[in-house]
Amino acid sequence: MPMPYVTGYCEKLGLKAGETQTFMISGEGVEAVDLHIVRLLHGDENPRGPGFVEKEIPASCNGRLAVTQQFTQAGSYIAVPDAANHFAPGAGFTVHAFIWPTTPDKGRQGLISQWVDGKTPAEAGLGFSLGIDPHGRLSLRLGNGAEQTEVAATTPLVAKVWYFVAASYDAGTHTVTLYQEPVINAWNSLLSRIVPLTHECHLATRTSVVPAGAGEALLFAGVHGHGKHGPCVTALYNGKIDRAGFQRRVLGRAELDSLRAGGEPPADGCIARWDTTAGYTDHGIGDRLVDVGPLGLHGEGYNRPVRAMTGWNWQGRDDCFRLAPAQYGGIYFNDDAIIDCHWKPSLSWTLPSDLPSGVYAARLRGNGLEDHLTFFVRPAKPKAKVAMLMPTASYLAYANERFVIEAPAVEVLTAHPLVLQDVDYLLAEHPEWGRSSYDHHNDGAGVCYVSYHRPVMGLRPRHRMASTGVPWQFAADMSIIWWLEQSGIEWDCLTDEDLHREGKAALSPYKVVLNGTHSEYYSERMMDATEDYLAEGGRVMYLGANGYYWVVAFRDDSPWCMEIRKLDSGSRAWQAAPGEYYMATTGEKGGIWRNRGRPPQKIMGVGFTSEGMDESKPYRKLPDAVAPAVSWVMRGVQGEVFGETGLGLDGAAGLELDRYDRAWGTPPHTWLLAASEGQHSDHYPHVGEEIMFNYPGLAGTQDFQVRGDVTLFTTTGDGAVFSTGSIAWGQALPVNADIARITRNVLERFLADGPVED
């Protein structure tokens, strides 16, 4: 039996008071829910802390709501509208493309098709489909609704090898022709051309089936099918497709050989010529597939097929699509890609203009089930002097992480048995809700697009990471929210989306900006805005670790979707293929900011040095802690050691750690106030990007660089940065008096006018 659930997502992750929020809700095993707006104050249910805390809010949308199960179309594909029936196959045609299949043996897949499956296995399909048959062979299917036929190549396709393929139907002779030839060079395929495999196939046969037009859009990477919710795209393809075309006549062998060599199709009978490199700019690539043929039959991508990928003719010399766009025609499709569930709106709510800034959710309850659809509210105009910057880009990166369950080495890395929750089992039942940027697609490719237009389990306040059993990202940041609420200091809520969209203007109204526990993913606009804010006198309290680490990119027209390319440095679950290091969204290089000349030490004073998931440790004061200029930081903290307790693995220094290092740009006048050096276990290894050669002595009990550092420095314009060097710091705030006291000391000093140093 399917696992019952009620869940959903919000149209906007962050919005201003007075704006309208829309909720998309789906459920199974429940017909109605009670929806109530709540303000979230704390999430971690650890009995040593405040526990789960929410406050019900009067709202016009509160009440009983009917719930139905909504359908999600997973898989990336391209649709080319065809209202004029240009692709009707009955008059004869040739369709051709370069392809690089990654899972040819997974089952039936569509390559370029205007085909509609029969509603039952006994019903014939309609139209044509150039695709891959259940045995991994190139095939052409033809049908008219009453009968159908399929012609398949005699030689199966090999994974990750480039081919030029074509199929034709001669209406006069009823002859079907298949053409399959490899186009392997030294760079473009998994296998070299020295491997003695038979790749080519040339086949001609006659058929009695006269195909008819399907009357639907032509599809790249799928076919029109039927599911329990109605029409859908099925037979989804894994792999790349490069330049393709459709000819209203049969092309001969010499003409196909010319196309295989990179030539243009003859003008005679050309209906469409899709140039997969057209539309490239220095600032990125959109989702449109451009037809440079006579009719302009452009296509639109769904679930964002990946662009800026190497094509059939990549020569290995240039590693960026901006340098050699003609060699970057590959469009990568994945059968499990998802960037938008496209659920129908269930309810909208216009927020009161005076709704206090904070963290909110639409709480859903019905038939013993509960869920929270989280969103963040900022005031219509800034009101406070303090802003809490919620690291929503990092929330997206970890959205629906499945690697902790699927990766066999997770328990070894974390030194913890998996601690599974109901949401982990629910995600396993619903792959259509997508994966995180730490996961792989079904064909092994890394997930480079993530979004919040889908249910995101990590945005639930009680969520715990299965690999450690402790809150992570959003749920961990709620401990900072709890502390802010208890402090009595007025604060406004901001999101990374606000920062990316508005730049420094989002931060400028505030005297102090607090970061979350793990602000790991930053766009270039966000980096620039932070540095500009600090240079002009802003003050930042960096209450986490491993922040300002990965480069990400957003398109202005879809801020809910983020692109990431993991390169050959940094702690990563996958790595982009050679030549595919630059992001289609903006044209900029991915990877970690350190490798683009902007290590986090330059603006935060500390940078990533280690991670470990077995236990957290306390800090020990260093000589700078009693320097007269900054002794106020530790005022009220007795003894040399502090931070022995916390909700993040029982201490304030742990999970992930940052250190002071002037070699990577820590400002030379930085005060090094405390460190956790010499306490961490060997489950805290030195971070990989700093290891040129592997040698003994790089783990926590041996390497002095495995530590979390507490630092403070001033900036131009009377600004300042305080950094804690630990993800676990924020989770210690509700339960550790010393950590709370230090944080309040700094916040009060940062709020005061004048210099922060005495």
∠ Cα 9 13 18 (to 5°): 110
Query: What does the block give as tokens for 544?
Result: 């986490």
> What local confidence, expressed as pLDDT, does residue 408 receive?
63
What is the distance between the alpha carbons of residues 739 and 729, in angstroms, rounded to a whole number?
Answer: 7
> What local confidence, expressed as pLDDT, does residue 418 receive?
79
Query: Residues near 152 by Cβ (< 8 Å), separated by ≥ 6?
Result: 133, 135, 137, 138, 139, 178
What is the distance between the alpha carbons of residues 377 and 393, in angstroms, rounded to a whole number?
Answer: 16
Q: How confident is the model at residue 403 (pLDDT cuts 50, 70, 90)?
A: confident
Parent domain of 189? 77-333
What is the distance between the alpha carbons of residues 371 and 29, in angstroms, rounded to a whole number?
Answer: 14
Q: Are residues 54 and 161 in the same domain?
A: no
Query: What does the block give as tokens for 6?
Result: 């009620």
Reported as a single tens digit per residue, the pLDDT across 643-684 is 999 999 999 999 999 999 999 999 999 999 999 999 999 999
> Coil, helix or strand for 53?
strand
Is there a contact between 291 and 278 (Cβ–Cβ < 8 Å)? Answer: no
User: Is 236 among the domain residues?
Assistant: yes
Q: List Cα–Cα distances, 249 to 113, 515, 613, in angstroms.
A: 17, 62, 63
| Residue ranges in 672-719 assigned as alpha helix (H) | none
Q: Are residues 123 and 262 in the same domain?
A: yes
Query: What does the block give as tokens for 568?
Result: 């050959």
Tell me 592's DSSP state. Answer: B
Query: What does the block give as tokens for 410?
Result: 């997770």
Amino acid letter, 556 = D
Q: Are residues 100 and 49 in the same domain?
A: no
User: Is 206 among the domain residues?
Assistant: yes
Is there a contact between 496 and 391 (Cβ–Cβ < 8 Å)? Answer: yes
Mean per-residue pLDDT, 223-227: 95
- The residue to which tokens 């802390």 are assigned: 49
Please report the beta strands in 293-447, taking only residues with DSSP state E, as ranges in sequence order: 299-302, 306-309, 330-333, 347-350, 358-366, 369-378, 386-390
> What local confidence, expressed as pLDDT, does residue 697 receive?
86
Reported as a single tens digit per residue, the pLDDT across 369-387 is 999 999 999 999 999 999 9
Cβ atoms within 10 Å of 390's Cβ, excluding its own: 30
Q: Are residues 84 and 55 in the same domain?
A: no
Mean per-residue pLDDT, 552-575: 95
Q: What is the CATH number of the domain that holds 264?
A: 2.60.120.200
What is the distance between the alpha carbons of residues 541 and 390, in angstroms, rounded to a whole number?
Answer: 13
Q: Is the pLDDT of residue 540 over 70?
A: yes
Is there a contact between 524 and 588 (Cβ–Cβ < 8 Å)? Answer: yes
Amino acid letter, 165 = V
Cβ atoms within 10 Å of 502's Cβ, excluding its own: 14
Mean pLDDT score of the chain = 96
> Coil, helix or strand for 234?
strand
Split into its structural domains, the chain has a count of 2
Q: Is the pLDDT of residue 404 over 90?
A: no
Q: Are residues 142 and 247 in the same domain?
A: yes
Q: Are residues 85 and 58 in the same domain?
A: no
Q: Is the pLDDT of residue 345 over 80?
A: yes
If residue 528 lies in a helix (H) or strand (E), which one and from where to where? helix 524-535
What is the distance between the alpha carbons of residues 177 and 168, in angstroms, rounded to a whole number?
Answer: 5
Q: How confident is the model at residue 692 (pLDDT cuts 50, 70, 90)?
A: confident
- What string of DSSP letters covers 502-516? HTHHHHTT-SEEEE-
CB-facing half-sphere around the CA of 650: CA atoms within 13 A: 5
pTM of the model: 0.96
User: Is 652 among the domain residues?
Assistant: no
Amino acid letter, 663 = A
Reported as a single tens digit per residue, the pLDDT across 47-98 is 999 999 999 999 999 999 999 999 999 999 999 999 999 999 999 999 999 9
Q: Are residues 149 and 283 in the same domain?
A: yes
Share of the chain above pLDDT 70, in %: 99
Residue 504's φ and ψ, nearest 5 degrees, are: -60, -25
Q: Is the pLDDT of residue 416 over 80?
A: no
Q: How confident is the model at residue 605 (pLDDT cuts 50, 70, 90)?
A: very high
What is the distance between the alpha carbons of residues 521 and 512, in angstroms, rounded to a whole number?
Answer: 21
Query: Residues near 737 by Cβ (< 8 Å), separated by ≥ 6?
Result: none
What is the distance between the alpha carbons of residues 238 and 220, in angstroms, rounded to a whole number?
Answer: 11
What is the distance between the alpha carbons of residues 59 and 71, in angstroms, rounded to a whole number?
Answer: 29
> Coil, helix or strand for 642?
strand
What is the distance between the alpha carbons of residues 407 and 423, in angstroms, rounded to a whole number?
Answer: 18
What is the distance between the alpha carbons of residues 405 and 473, in angstroms, rounded to a whole number?
Answer: 18
Q: List Cα–Cα distances, 176 to 95, 128, 135, 301, 331, in angstroms.
A: 12, 12, 19, 29, 27
> What local confidence, expressed as pLDDT, does residue 255 receive?
98
Query: Residues near 443 by Cβ (< 8 Å), separated by ≥ 6?
Result: 102, 103, 106, 238, 239, 334, 335
> What local confidence, expressed as pLDDT, does residue 77 receive?
98
- The residue to which tokens 């659809």 are assigned: 373
> What local confidence, expressed as pLDDT, does residue 407 receive?
66
Q: Is the pLDDT of residue 468 over 90?
A: no
Of the listed ranges 46-55, 263-272, 534-543, 686-695, the least confidently predicted one is: 686-695
What is the distance between the alpha carbons of residues 457 and 439, in angstroms, rounded to a whole number?
Answer: 15
> By C-alpha distance, which of 644, 641, 605, 638 is closest to 621?
641
Q: In angstroms, how far apart are the furthest CA atoms of the chain?
A: 95
> Coil, helix or strand for 481?
helix
Q: Are residues 113 and 68 in the same domain?
A: no
Q: Are residues 66 and 150 in the same domain?
A: no
Q: Are residues 185 and 230 in the same domain?
A: yes
Q: Are residues 207 and 276 in the same domain?
A: yes
Is there a contact between 628 and 660 (Cβ–Cβ < 8 Å)? Answer: no
Query: Residues near 371 by Cβ (< 8 Å), separated by ≥ 6?
Result: 5, 6, 7, 8, 363, 364, 460
∠ Cα 507 512 516 (to 5°): 85
Give the orientation angle of helix 474-487 with respect to helix 737-751, to 10 degrees.
70
Cβ atoms within 10 Å of 419's Cβ, excluding its own: 14
> By C-alpha distance, which of 128, 76, 451, 129 is closest to 238?
76
Q: Is the pLDDT of residue 731 over 90?
A: yes
Reported as a single tens digit per residue, the pLDDT across 113-166 is 999 999 888 899 999 999 999 999 999 999 999 999 999 999 999 999 999 999
What is the distance between the alpha carbons of residues 540 and 530, in angstroms, rounded to a whole number?
Answer: 9
Is there a contact between 624 and 562 (Cβ–Cβ < 8 Å)? Answer: no
User: Is 65 among the domain residues?
Assistant: yes
Q: Are residues 11 and 86 in the same domain?
A: no
* Residue that finishes a domain, picked among 378, 407, 439: 378
What is the distance between the alpha carbons of residues 610 and 590, in angstroms, rounded to a whole number?
Answer: 22
User: Is 96 among the domain residues?
Assistant: yes
User: Is 256 among the domain residues?
Assistant: yes
User: Is 752 among the domain residues?
Assistant: no
User: Is 725 among the domain residues?
Assistant: no
Kindly give the pairing relationship between strand 347-350 and strand 330-333.
Answer: unpaired
Q: What is the CATH number of the domain that holds 37?
A: 2.60.40
